[in-house]
Amino acid sequence: MTNRVAPTKKLTEEQRFQYLISGISDYAIYMLDPDGHVSSWNAGAQRFKGYLAPEILGEHFSRFYTPEDRASNLPARALSTALVEGKYEAEGWRVRQDGTRFWASVVIDPIYDELGTLLGYAKITRDITDKRQAEQALRASEERFRLLVQGVTDYAIYMLSPLGEVSNWNVGAERIKGYLADEIVGQHFSRFYTEEDRAGGMPQRALDTAAREGRFEAEGWRLRQDGTRFWAHVVIDAIHDDMGSLIGFAKITRDLTEKKKADAALAEANAALFQAQKMESIGQLTGGIAHDFNNLLSVLASGLEVLTLGRGGSADAKTFDSMRRAVNRGATLTQQLLAFARQQPLQPETRNVNRLISGFESVLRRAVSAAIDFQVRLDPQVRSTVIDSARFESAILNLVVNARDAMPDGGHVRIESANVDLAEHAAQGLAPGPYVRVTVTDTGTGMSPETAARAFEPFYTTKEVGKGTGLGLSQVYGFIKQSGGEVVIATAPGEGTAISIFLPAAPDQDGATTHRENTELVLIVEDESDLMDVAAALYISMGYEVVTASSSNEALPLLASRKVDILFTDIIMPHGMNGIELAAYTREHYPEVKIILASGYPLPALKFEDANLEDFAFVNKPYRLSDLARVLRTAA
């Protein structure tokens, strides 16, 4: 069938305009008279509002409004606004003929004739319900997302501009970083980085990586507002618009400080467990070897005795002596092995470590070279501990010798004692409670972490061949562990070494007081080393403990750090205060100390200004045991 086209009819401009308006179905376009009554109606108006033209022409346009809008006189105000301002434009709910509502975009324009007389209003309405619903859904989604982000407290979630300025801020960011939104929005995010990271350009590299690859992820130290650091896991994602242009970055930060601490503690515990298991295994092996070796040495030693007696001191005596010395060295080696294996017989007793160190100080001083400054700083209030005295002295000597060997060009060695109260896990392998700590510190070469980790292993040494057996520290370790304590090394290459011995405090002690032993401590001040040794031997034979000084300069710190009972000093000394001055100083500052002066000059020949020698007990050199015993009874 052939389509027929109507012959072209000449239309006026007004007719063409009317056909155009009538044919539009996506917009309601109609006229109102000056009072608001509908005077024309197009297809779009019929489709949106549901009225046919005969049903609505002549009716007031207010029927399209909701009851609440009519109650507020919105239709009249719309016309009034159009007259005053030349146009009224708004969005709102409108009502169809069937009573259903739709969301409308409305424009009302006043219409005038050539003389300016108001003819009515042109009203254009569009149904934008679907658009509004989409916008509302988008806003609701954005609001839900905003509330979700704002409600997250375990993560800092915020946006950055393309340059790195903070553009929003959630509760988690406030909690983790410490800034309120007003304090940080607009600031550059680099302020969260440490000074060293900023100097290294880390913030900009992070943004560049995210912009280039779409994502940046890392862990590192970050700063809170108060300057404290926390370990953070950071993710930065690049955000692009529909055209692919970079509009900013989404940044998520999580505080992993506690997790990092827990991981480090677990790693440390695993390392300590491995080390303990390794040392225990080595100890068991060493103990077995030592016991078997001791049995062999016993057989050799007994056989040598028999052979020596049988040969009656023949020319082979030197050979037998060499063998005997070898056996003795082997016996010493097995004792060291047993010490590490914690299988040596101990004779523990309640002792004060200050007294043990003081009585052994002369030996310790001789163990170091003249190029080494040797200091002893003992806490006068240190607690007592249960310890084998002889093996404790040997352990301290081992540590001092090791310190000396670490300083071939000289340096400083210091022995210190102190009370410590350990908390849970403060020292590996020790229960919390009161302890005595003795520390030997040197300024030597120090140890690497790898060396320090193996320092207590038997036969492990960094010394030259023939310079050490590698059993010194292992012997100390075994003895202290057998005594219920622990040994801790603090060291670094080039920064020296501090080895601390922790020993449990003896039971039934008040942490603020010190157990007072019956043995009295004598401070001997003598510049002649031979005379010092003789005096020390005499006092020790009478049951005193002894600490020595070669001058008043050495004596003063000893008086300050120890509970000295008796000062026994030579009068004539070439350096520092003489004996009279030292005695006067002691009488003034330590009135409870008994003072005995000694000199090779007779008392009448000694003349000192502002000093009365009769105020002090006096003994002439050379003195004997009976002389010291006599003067001790009268000393004050």
- Tell me: do 189 and 334 sit in the same domain: no
Print the SS3 string covering 493-534: CCCCEEEEEEEEECCCCCCCCCCCCCCCEEEEECCCHHHHHH
Residue 467: per-residue pLDDT: 45
Q: What is the pLDDT of residue 397?
A: 85
358 and 214 share one domain: no
Same domain assignment for residues 356 and 485:
yes
pLDDT digits 0-9 by tens, 20-31: 565 566 788 889
Q: Which of 127, 157, 183 is the last residue before a domain boundary? A: 127
15-29, 115-129, 269-283: which is most confident: 115-129
Average pLDDT over every residue of 428-447: 88
Whether residues 120 and 159 fall in one domain: no
**Domain C-terminal end among 340, 368, 403:** 340
Residues 322 and 270 in one domain: yes
Region 377-394 average pLDDT: 83
pLDDT in tens, 62-95: 999 999 999 999 999 999 999 999 999 999 999 9
Tell me whether residue 358 is in a domain: yes
Mean local confidence (pLDDT), 598-619: 69
pLDDT-based confidence at residue 547 (cuts at 50, 70, 90): confident
Least confidently predicted of 32-46, 241-255, 317-331, 539-553:
317-331
Nearest to 502 by CA among 335, 605, 382: 382
Report field, pTM of the whole predicted structure over 0.95 = no
- Looking at residue 274, its pLDDT comes to 54
Residue 157 burial (C-beta neighbours within 10 Å; 0-12, 13-18, 19+) = buried
Task: Check: CB of residue 231 under 8 Å from CB of residue 219.
Answer: yes
**Cβ(166)–Cβ(184) below 8 Å:** yes
Can you tell me the mean pLDDT for 607-618? 68
For residues 225-246, give the mean pLDDT: 91
Cα–Cα distance for residue pair 354/382, rounded to 1 Å = 7
Residue 260: Cβ within 10 Å count: 16
* pLDDT(575) > 90: no
Residue 510: inside a domain, yes or no?
A: no
Neighbouring CB atoms inside 10 A of 584's CB total: 18
The answer to whether the CB of 583 falls within 8 A of the CB of 597 is yes
User: How far is the CA of 27 from the CAs of 44, 69, 107, 124, in angstroms?
Assistant: 5, 22, 11, 7
Say yes or no to pLDDT of 354 above 90: no
| 8-state DSSP, 2 | -
pLDDT tops 60 at residue 112? yes
Name the phi and psi angles at 121, rounded to 5.
-135, 145
Instruction: Please tell me whether residues 353 and 454 are part of one structural domain.
Output: yes
- Whether residue 301 is found in the same domain as residue 355: no
Residue 203 binned pLDDT confidence (cut-offs 50, 70, 90) = very high
**CA torsion through residues 79, 85, 87, 88, sign:** negative
Among the three residues 504, 531, 564, which one is the final residue of a domain in this structure?
504
Say if residue 355 is in the same domain as residue 470: yes
Query: Are 304 and 423 part of one and the same domain?
Result: no
Could you report the per-residue pLDDT of 502-523, keeping only the tens digit for each? 998 887 554 333 334 557 889 9
Q: What is the pLDDT of residue 512?
A: 36
Higher pLDDT, 636 or 474: 474
Residue 472 or 441, more confident: 441
Helix (H) or strand (E) holding 473: helix 472-482
Confidence bin at 471 (pLDDT 50/70/90): very low
Q: Would residue 535 count as lying in a domain?
A: yes
Are residue 486 and residue 377 in the same domain, yes or no? yes
Strand pairing report for 349-352 and 372-378: unpaired
Instruction: For the chain, give the percent of residues with pLDDT over 70.
Output: 74
- Sign of the Cα torsion 288, 294, 297, 299 reads negative
Query: What is the predicted pLDDT for the residue at 340?
Result: 47
Which tokens in the block code for residue 229?
């650091």
When pLDDT is averaged across residues 618-624 and rounded to a whole number, the result is 79
3-state class of 207 per DSSP?
helix
pLDDT at 511: 39
The pLDDT assigned to 455 comes to 75
Domain annotation covers residue 273: yes
Give the C-alpha separation, 538 to 384, whole Å.
26
Q: What is the mean pLDDT of the chain?
A: 79
pLDDT at 579: 86
Check pLDDT > 70 for residue 334. no
Q: Please compute the mean of the pLDDT values over residues 532-539 and round it to a whole number.
A: 81
Which residue has better confidence, 72 or 614?
Answer: 72
Query: What is the Cα–Cα distance from 568 to 631, expressed in whole angstroms?
Result: 11
The tally of CA atoms less than 13 A away on the side-chain side of residue 526 is: 23
- Is residue 365 within 8 A of residue 403, CB to CB? The reply is no
Asked whether residue 1 is assigned to any structural domain, the reply reads no
Reported as a pLDDT band with limits 50, 70 and 90, residue 2 is very low
| Separation between Cα atoms, residue 481 and residue 339, nearest integer Å | 10
Task: Name the percent of the chain lying above pLDDT 90.
Answer: 30
- Provide mean pLDDT across the span 340-354: 66
Higher-scoring residue by pLDDT: 20, 500:
500
Give the sign of the dihedral formed by CA 365, CA 368, CA 371, CA 374: negative
Note whether residue 327 is domain-resident. yes
Q: Domain count for the chain, please give it.
A: 5
Strands 617-620 and 594-599: parallel
More confident residue, 357 or 468: 357
Residue 109 confidence (pLDDT): 93
**Nearest in space to 217 (alpha carbons), one of 238, 200, 199:** 238
Is the pLDDT score of 208 beyond 90? yes
Q: Output the six-digit token pair for 311.
A: 């040969």
Tell me how far the alpha carbon of residue 411 is from its chain's centroid.
31
Q: Can you give the residue range of the structural domain that contains 304? A: 261-340
**Do residues 505 and 434 lie in contact, with contact meaning Cβ atoms separated by under 8 Å?**
yes
What pLDDT score was predicted for residue 142? 63
Which of 355 and 110 is assigned the larger pLDDT?
110
The per-residue pLDDT for 1 is: 45
Report yes or no on 511 lying in a domain: no
Q: Are 472 and 529 found together in one domain?
A: no
Judged on CB neighbours under 10 Å (0-12, 13-18, 19+), 536 is: buried
CB atoms within 10 A of CB 469: 15
Is the predicted pLDDT of residue 153 greater than 60, yes or no? yes
Distance CA(343)–CA(481), nearest Å, equals 11
CATH number at residue 209: 3.30.450.20
Write out 379-415 in H/E/C secondary structure: CCCCCEEEECHHHHHHHHHHHHHHHHHCCCCCEEEEE
| CA-to-CA dists, residue 441 to 164, 362, 488, angstroms | 50, 18, 12
Mean pLDDT for 446-471 is 63
Give the Cα separation of 529 and 82 in Å (integer): 119
What is the pLDDT, as a whole number, of residue 151? 60
**Rounded to an integer, what distance in angstroms lies between the CA atom of residue 581 and that of residue 613?**
11
Contact 229, 256 (CB under 8 A): no
Of 459, 402, 154, residue with least CA distance to 285: 459
3-state secondary structure at position 601: coil
pLDDT tens track for 386-404: 888 877 888 888 888 888 8
Same domain for 357 and 476: yes
Point out the least confidently predicted range of 4-13, 296-305, 507-516, 530-539. 507-516
pLDDT at 603: 62
Q: Tokens 């298991």: give the residue.
A: 277
Reported as type and span, the H/E element at residue 255 is strand 246-255
Question: Quick check: is 3 in a domain?
Answer: no
Q: What is the DSSP letter of 315?
A: T
